[in-house]
Amino acid sequence: MARQRSIREPIAGSGIGVHSGRRVDIRLLPAPADSGIRFRRTDLDPVVELPARADLVRDTQLCTALANEDGVRVATIEHLMSALAGLGIDNLTIELNAPEVPIMDGSAAPFVYLLQQAGIRELDALKTFIHISDTIEVREGDKWARLSPHNGCCFDFTIEFDHPVFRHRNNHTRLDFTSRRYIRDISRARTFGFLRDIEYLQSHGLTLGGGLDNAVVVDDYRVLNEHGLRFDDEFVRHKLLDAVGDLYLLGAPLIGHYQGYKSGHDLNNKLCLALLAAPQSWQRIQLDRDSDIQIDYGENLPLPQAS
C-alpha cells in the first residue's frame, strides 16, 4: 500500500527572492498525516498560513502565487511544489520570512536536495491519488492543457517559439513518472527568459532578483549563460517541471495523463479548477499492492547531479 510521506527532520535554507531581489529564509518542517502542504508567513504578526490549493491561486503572470481573502501572498511556489510532487511528499509545513519562495538556481533541484537531506519518512496513513476517469481540457487561442485517463502518471509538454535558439532543439518532452526519472530528467531544468523582457521588467521594479545565476537567459540570438544549457532541451523540460508543480496544487498526486501545448501557470491553474468543478471526471482512490496501477516513488534516491 502506498503511504503518505513527510520529512524526518526540519531543515533550513536561504536564497534570493526573484521578485524582491532580497534574501529569503525558508524552513521545511515535518507535518502529520492528512495535514497537506502548508505555507507559513513567519514575517507577519500574527503568523499566517496558506494551504497549497489550486483555488487559492490569485496570480499567474510571472509565477504561481497563492493569496488568502486578506491579500496575504506566497509567490513563486511552483518549483518547490514540483519537487514535493517528484518525491511524493504529501505533508509539509514551509516557513518563509518573505512573500515569496526563494528562486534558488531557477530549478527544483535545490529543493530536492533539501528534502533528501532532511530525510523522507513514510507515515502511518494511506496516500490518496486523484484518478482521472474522463478527459478535461482548457484552451486559450492555440494554447491548451488536458487531463485524460491513463494507467499510471504521465506528463507531456510541447513548446513553440519563433526564435533561433529554439528552432533546432527538441520542443517536446515526456515524463512517465517515477521519482528517479523526475530527479534525473526534470528537476535540474532551469526557468528561462528573454533578455529584453528581463530588462523591461527590472526597469519597472519587477524580477529584481532575476539573472544568470537563477535562469537561462536568451538574447536575440543565443543563450547568454557562460556554461550553456544543462540539457539540450532544457527549455521544454522546465515547462514540464512547472506543470508538475502547478498540478500538485490539486492536493494529491495524479493517476492520469497531462498534456500541455504552449501552456503556462495560468492555463495549468484553469485546468485544475476545471477538474475540481467536474467531480464526475475523477475519483480519489488508494492503491494496494495488487493494483495494476503502480506509482514508483522509490527508495535510496540519487541526489540531483551537480551543474
Task: Report the CATH architecture of 129-286.
Answer: 2-Layer Sandwich (3.30)
Cβ–Cβ < 8 Å for 138, 267 = yes
Compute the average pLDDT of residues 33-61.
Answer: 97
pTM for this predicted structure: 0.96
Question: Which is the CATH superfamily of the domain at 3-128?
Answer: lpxc deacetylase, domain 1 (3.30.230.20)
For the question of residue 227 being annotated catalytic, the response is no
Edge-first strand order for the sheet with 37-41 is 11-16, 23-30, 92-96, 37-41, 48-51
Q: Say if residue 257 carries a ligand binding annotation.
A: no
Whole-number Å distance between alpha carbons of 165 and 281: 39
pLDDT in tens, 239-254: 999 999 999 999 999 9
| pLDDT for residue 89 | 98
Compute the average pLDDT of residues 272-288.
Answer: 96
| pLDDT for residue 139 | 98
Look over the chain and give the mean of its residue pLDDT values, rounded to a whole number.
Answer: 95
Q: Is 69 helix (H, G, I), strand (E, B) or coil?
A: coil
Domain range summary for the chain, segments of one domain joined by +: 3-128, 129-286
Cβ–Cβ < 8 Å for 55, 271 = no
Q: Which of 19, 131, 257, 265 is catalytic?
A: 265
Q: Say if residue 163 carries a ligand binding annotation.
A: no
Cβ–Cβ < 8 Å for 138, 271 = yes
Q: Say if residue 242 carries a ligand binding annotation.
A: yes
Whether the pLDDT of residue 179 is over 90: the answer is yes
307 confidence band (pLDDT: 50, 70, 90): low
